[in-house]
Amino acid sequence: MDTTQRTDPSDLFSAKGLVIVITGAGSGIGLSFTKTLHSTSPHKIYALARRLPLLQSIAASLDPSGTVITPLECDITSPTSIAAAVSHIEKETGYIDVLINNAGVTGPDHRGIYEAGSIEQVRDVLLGEWEKWEATYATNTTAVVGVSAAFLPLLDRGNERRGWVNGKLGPGEGPRERKTVQKKEKGDEEVDMSDERTSQIITVASIAAFNRHVTAGFAYSASKAGAVSVGKTLATALAGWGVRSNVIAPGIYPSDMTTSAPKQFPVDKVPAGRQGSLGEIGGAVLYLVGKSGAYVNGDVLITDGGRLSVHPATY
């Protein structure tokens, strides 16, 4: 390690030149990601969600030129819809550098168990809205696998574009070879050979995955725990292929899911005393996406103002 080398924070924490896909990009944390990453000069951001008019409005506001943010209608629970988004991006850029699995739903509300006056009432709360469990898992857990799998070839091409020799490395093999990229195709981003990043999947879970206090519902907590497991397992499964996988587990941030949540909290609920901010969740994703996060793989980044430290939880 050369400790005499100067570091530039604006270079370390930046998405400059990257092609990024964000699901659930139209509101809440996904919109925060879109705004933050767009401010650091990415090559392209593909903003995916079901509400296309909303995405188009956001894109027009942030990117009047229409050259960076491309809104795409996509239902992440539909293999056909996912495949259409992949095909569109493949035709336009041919690769991606980062996939952010952000879309999520709350599912059935089980907070009523704490007001229940009898065991029968607890039973009724837990059995309520049973039909919503499947849809919750489909969005929060199953889609992480489906969307990640669908974009793997484009993530692999992102590595190849940077000069990394693709293909699987087995036990005892490596490090991965890298070819010098000398010629730049027209309209493509120049490759910085000092940049050690490889393609990456980032999955947005929740501290509900670890929190044993029900703050939304059993289905939400369980499905987000599943998302964490999927994200970590992908890191292991894809290690030989040179594709990284990390997880962000946010606490209470402004979003459609937290509209009824308080803006301030006592220290026994959230030691920071408040909800998180755009800059704080944006900083988390910039750390992972930027050169600063090039050595991070299989990690779970918790950003919750200390909430898990004062709740019954498991890490």
Question: In CATH, what number is assigned to the domain containing residue 256?
Answer: 3.40.50.720
Is 220 in the active site?
A: yes
Query: Backbone phi, then psi, for 148, in 5-degree steps?
Result: -60, -45
Q: What is the pLDDT of residue 183?
A: 57
Q: Which residues contact 124 (CB under 8 A, 6 or more apart)?
A: none
Q: What is the pLDDT of residue 56?
A: 97
- CA-CA-CA-CA dihedral for 295, 296, 297, 303, to nearest 10: 180
Q: With a cut of 70, which residues of the chain have pLDDT below it?
A: 1, 182-189, 314-315
Q: Does residue 260 fall inside a structural domain?
A: yes
What total number of domains does the chain contain? 1
Q: Does residue 146 fall inside a structural domain?
A: yes
Give the model confidence (pLDDT) of 97-106 as tens digits.
999 999 999 9
Amino acid 19 reads: V
Q: Is the pTM above the cut of 0.85?
A: yes
Q: Does residue 120 fall inside a structural domain?
A: yes
Q: Does residue 122 fall inside a structural domain?
A: yes
Per DSSP (E only), the strands in the chain are 19-23, 44-49, 69-73, 98-101, 200-204, 244-250, 300-303
Q: Does residue 315 fall inside a structural domain?
A: no
Give the model confidence (pLDDT) of 124-133 as tens digits.
999 999 999 9
Domain of 112 in residue numbering reads as 9-181+190-310
Q: Are 195 and 22 in contact (CB under 8 A)?
A: no
Catalytic residue among 220, 287, 295, 315: 220
Q: What is the pLDDT of residue 313?
A: 80
Q: Any idea which residue has 């489906």 for tokens?
A: 146
User: How long a stretch of residues is the chain?
Assistant: 315
Q: Does residue 2 fall inside a structural domain?
A: no
Q: Does residue 3 fall inside a structural domain?
A: no
